[in-house]
Structure 1
Amino acid sequence: MKKVGILVGREETFPESIIKSINEKGASKVTAEMITVGGIRLDEPKRWDVIIDRISHEVPYYRAMLKRMALEGTYIINNPFWWSADDKFFNFALAAKIGVAIPKTVLLPQQEYIKDITSESLRNLEFPIDWEGIIDHVGFPAFLKPHDGGGWKNVSKIHSLEELWTEYNQSGKLCMTLQEGIEYDQFVRCYCVGKEKVLIMPYDPSKPYLSGMQYVNVENYLTPELHKRVEQDVITICKALGYDLNTVEFAIKDGIPYAIDFMNPAPDAELASVGETNHRWIVDNMTDFILRKLEEGFDTPEYRWSAMLNPPEKQAKVKAPVAKPAAKKASTKKAGK
C-alpha cells in the first residue's frame, strides 16, 4: 500500500478534498492522510511515499523534517531543497534568459541588518545607492516587494522617488526588489500541475487577497494565440524551476504576457477563495498526477549524495564463461601454394 501524506497550515478544504480524492481513486492501492510528526531521529524510517507540503516555508522545523524524509526516498511536492534555495529575483533573471517576458527589475540592498553587521561588514556595498539610475531603468509606476515572499505581503505600488524612499525605509531587514509596474490590459493566474497541465484563470489583483472576488469567470478571455503562449510560458517556467505544483501570474499589456510572480510552491487552493471550478480542477489534477507517478515512478531528484547512498551494483566477481572457439575440422585445408 502506497501512502501519501499532507502537511498543512490553516487551510481546510484543499487538504480534505485531496485526501478524499486520493482515497477514492486509489483503488485500495494508495491511501492519503494528514501527517503527524514529532521528534525526528537520525534513523527515522520511511513513513510516506509522497508528501504534499503546504506550510514548510513558514515553519523551519517542517522544512528540516521534509529534507530528512527526502533522504529516505519520500518524494516531496515541492522539493524542499530547491524551495529553500529559491528566490523571486533569481527566478525573474532565469525566466528572462529562457525567453519569458519579465518586467524590468532591480534587486536592492537591505535597509537594515542584523545586530552584528557593522559598516565594516558592508565595505563592498555601494553607498549611497544610485536611486536616480534605478528609477531611470525601472520607471514609474513600480512595485516594491520582497525578493523572497508571497501572499502580497509587504508589497507597495510606487509612483515617485519620495514614495519609494518612504516604503523602502520601512522595509527593515527584508531584501527588496523594485519592479516595473505593468499597466495591464488583462491579468491571469495559472495553476500548473506536474509541469504539464495548465489552468489559465482570469484574475483581478485589485480585489482583496483571498476574498474569493479575485477569480472571475470570463469565457474566451484570451485569444487562441495568447492562450497558447501563456500556457507554454507556464510550462517552461515550471520545468526550469522543477515545481510539480505552482501558480504563475501574468500582467498582459499590448498582447505581451509579462510573468510577474511564479514562486508559489504552495498556492492557494481553498474553495472559498478560488471557487468551485478552480478548486475541483487542482484537486482532480493533483490526484491524477500523484496516482500516475506512484505507478510509473517519479523522476528522482539529482542529489549529490544519491550515488554515495545507492551505488551501482558491483560487478560480478566471477565473470561469465567465455565461449570456447569452435574446434578445427579434421579436413581443414592448408594454405594454398
Structure 2
Amino acid sequence: MADVEHTIGLLLGTEDDWPRAYEALLRRLGVIKGPDGRTHRAVSERVTIEPFNLRDKPRHELVIDRLAYWYYHPREWLKKISLMDDVYLLNSPFTFQSMEKHAAYCAMMRLGLKVPETVLVPYKNPLDNSRYAYTAARYNQSFDLEATAAQVGYPMYMKPYDGGAWVGVSKIRNTDELHAAYDASGERLMHLQASVEGYDVFARSLTIGPETMVMKFRPEQPMHSRYEVDHGFLTADVGHEVVTISRLVNAFFRWEFNSCESLVRGTDVHPIDYANACPDVAITSLHYYFPWAMSALLRWTVFCVVTERKPTLDTDTARYFAIGDDPSLSYAEKLTEYRRLTDEYFETARYEEFCDRYLGNVDAIVYDWVTSEEFRSLLRETVRATYPVHEHEKFLGHFGGLIDAWVRDHS
C-alpha cells in the first residue's frame, strides 16, 4: 500500500534552533508502519503568514504554534483551522486567550492545589478609553493598597495577570517597594502574590503530550545556567506530585506543549506559573535536556498524526471540579483522581504502546543525530547567533561539555 504522508506545520517567530532539530529528526525517522497496517511519513513545513479565506482548506494535519500568543493574525488562522478543519493543535488558542495566568490560578485553586495567596488589584493608571472616567467615578471603589498588601503579607510579588517571560515582575518587601512597583505598572493589570520563602528547590517541568521532564531551575542565574543537571533533587513522592500537577494543568486547559513552575518547600508543592504558550526549548537554555525535548516532541506529534488523534476544543472542567469540590477526598486522593483523568485525556497507555511498537528506534535516532556533525554545526551556529564574538569560545565549550555529558549518560 502507498505511504500516507502527514504534513506538520511549524508556526514560528524568531527561533531557529529547535525547528531545525525537529526537521532533521523527522527526516531521519522516515517511514514507519502504523496500527492500520499502512506505512506513514510525517513531513514538516514552516507556516507563512498571509491573507486567508475562511473557507480555504489547510494542508496541515497538525500545527506546532510558537507565535500566536502575541501575533493575532496567525492566532485567528489557528482558530479557523481548528474550528472548521479539525487540524490538531498542541495548544488550544481558545484557552490560552481566555485562560491566562489569572484564570489558571483560579481553576487550580478550586482543584485544591497549593497556589500562594493571590489578589488582583485595579489598574494604577486610567485606561485609554472614553468610557473609563464615567465608569470609574460611578463604580470604582477606592481602596487602600497597603491594607490590601497586608492581607497577602510581605514579602510578595507583583506580576501581570497575563504576563510572561518574567516581564513586569517585582519582588515586594515593604510599602515603599509596593508603591514603586504599583506606580510603574501603569495600565497593566497586576496580581499581588505571596512569596514562598525558604523554599528548598525551584522545579520547572516541561511537558510534551504525556511525557514530562522535571528540571532543577535557578532563576537567579543567567539563562545558560538556569537549568542545573541534577537527577535526584526531588524525592519520589514529591517528583510524582510535580509531574501530576504539570499534566493536570495541561489536560485541564488542553495544553500539550507547556511548562510549569513550582516551588517545593519540605513536602509541599506550590505551583506559581503554569500558563506558558511558548515554553523555553532553546538549545542554549535546555542544553543537556534538549535531546529529550526533541525526542518527546517527535514522538507525540507523530503519534497524533498517525493515529488520527482527535482534537478536543471543548474542556470538560466539570469532571475535574467534581473531584476538587469533594470534601470526602484528601489532597493525595484528589491527585490520584486527577492523574487518572490526565492519563485518559492523553491516552497515555495507548501512546506508550504505540511508542514501544512503532517508535522504538527514536532514542537511537536522536543519539546518532546528537553525536553527528550536523548537530555540532547547529550548536555552533546557534551559539554564534546568540552571543557576542568574544564569548563564542566560552559558550561553545560550555554547551559542548553539557551535550557530551548527555552523550556519556545515554551511550
Tell whether the structures are fold-level matches, with TM greater than 0.5. Answer: yes
Q: What does residue 97 of structure 1 align with?
A: 110
Higher Rg: 1
Which one of the candidate residues 251, 265, 269 is aligned to 2:263?
A: 251
Does structure 2 conserve the Cα–Cα contact (< 8 Å) formed by 1:191 and 1:200? yes
* Inter-partner Cα distance in structure 2 for 1:12 and 1:59: 18
In the alignment, structure 1 residue 17 sits paired with structure 2 residue 21? yes
Correspondences of 1:262-277 after superposition (within 5 Å): 262-275=274-287, 277=288
In the alignment, structure 1 residue 301 sits paired with structure 2 residue 316? no
Which one of the candidate residues 70, 94, 98 is aligned to 1:85?
A: 98
- Identify if the C-alpha distance between structure 1 residues 233 and 303 changes in structure 2 by more than 3 Å, giving closer, same or farther: closer
CA deviation profile, 1:181-211 (whole Å, cap 9, x unmatched): 11221111001111x2111000001123xx2
* Inter-partner Cα distance in structure 1 for 2:7 and 2:231: 39
Q: What does residue 198 of structure 1 align with?
A: 212
Q: Which moved more, 1:258-267 or 1:133-142?
A: 133-142
SS in 2 for 1:201: strand
Which one of the candidate residues 142, 155, 168 is aligned to 1:141?
A: 155
1:117 Cα deviation after fit: 3.7
Which one of the candidate residues 71, 74, 81 is aligned to 1:62?
A: 74
CA deviation profile, 1:231-274 (whole Å, cap 9, x unmatched): 11112221112101100001112321110000012101010111
% same residue: 24
Does structure 2 conserve the Cα–Cα contact (< 8 Å) formed by 1:142 and 1:158? yes
Does structure 2 conserve the Cα–Cα contact (< 8 Å) formed by 1:204 and 1:215? yes
TM-score (norm 2): 0.70
1:152 Cα deviation after fit: 0.6
SS in 2 for 1:29: strand
Does structure 2 conserve the Cα–Cα contact (< 8 Å) formed by 1:188 and 1:249? yes
Give the aligned length.
299
SS in 2 for 1:169: helix
CA deviation profile, 1:289-334 (whole Å, cap 9, x unmatched): 1111112222322469xxxxxxxxxxxxxxxxxxxxxxxxxxxxxx
* Inter-partner Cα distance in structure 2 for 1:26 and 1:160: 59
SS in 2 for 1:177: strand
Does structure 2 conserve the Cα–Cα contact (< 8 Å) formed by 1:201 and 1:216? yes
1:99 Cα deviation after fit: 2.3
SS in 1 for 2:185: coil
* Inter-partner Cα distance in structure 1 for 2:144 and 2:254: 35
SS in 1 for 2:227: coil
Q: What does residue 185 of structure 1 align with?
A: 200
In the alignment, structure 1 residue 36 sits paired with structure 2 residue 51? no
1:26 Cα deviation after fit: 4.5
- Identify if the C-alpha distance between structure 1 residues 297 and 139 changes in structure 2 by more than 3 Å, giving closer, same or farther: same
1:137 Cα deviation after fit: 2.1
Q: What does residue 235 of structure 1 align with?
A: 247
Higher helix share: 2
Does structure 1 conserve the Cα–Cα contact (< 8 Å) formed by 2:88 and 2:310? no
* Inter-partner Cα distance in structure 2 for 1:215 and 1:300: 32
In the alignment, structure 1 residue 282 sits paired with structure 2 residue 293? yes
CA deviation profile, 1:31-85 (whole Å, cap 9, x unmatched): 1121123111122112211110001112111111211222222112211112111
TM-score (norm 1): 0.85
What amino acid is aligned across from residue 46 of structure 1 in structure 2? P
What amino acid is aligned across from residue 82 of structure 1 in structure 2? T
In the alignment, structure 1 residue 6 sits paired with structure 2 residue 23? no
- Identify if the C-alpha distance between structure 1 residues 222 and 43 changes in structure 2 by more than 3 Å, giving closer, same or farther: same
- Structure 1 runs (4+) deviating above 3 angstroms are none
Unmatched 5+ stretches in structure 2: 32-39, 316-411
1:171 Cα deviation after fit: 0.9
SS in 1 for 2:184: coil
1:124 Cα deviation after fit: 2.6
* Inter-partner Cα distance in structure 2 for 1:18 and 1:137: 48
* Inter-partner Cα distance in structure 2 for 1:274 and 1:300: 29
Q: What does residue 73 of structure 1 align with?
A: 86
Correspondences of 1:214-229 after superposition (within 5 Å): 214-229=226-241
* Inter-partner Cα distance in structure 2 for 1:87 and 1:259: 15
1:144 Cα deviation after fit: 0.6
* Inter-partner Cα distance in structure 1 for 2:103 and 2:140: 19
SS in 2 for 1:92: helix
* Inter-partner Cα distance in structure 1 for 2:286 and 2:311: 31
SS in 1 for 2:225: coil
Q: What does residue 125 of structure 1 align with?
A: 140
Does structure 2 conserve the Cα–Cα contact (< 8 Å) formed by 1:26 and 1:291? no
What amino acid is aligned across from residue 285 of structure 1 in structure 2? A
SS in 1 for 2:193: strand
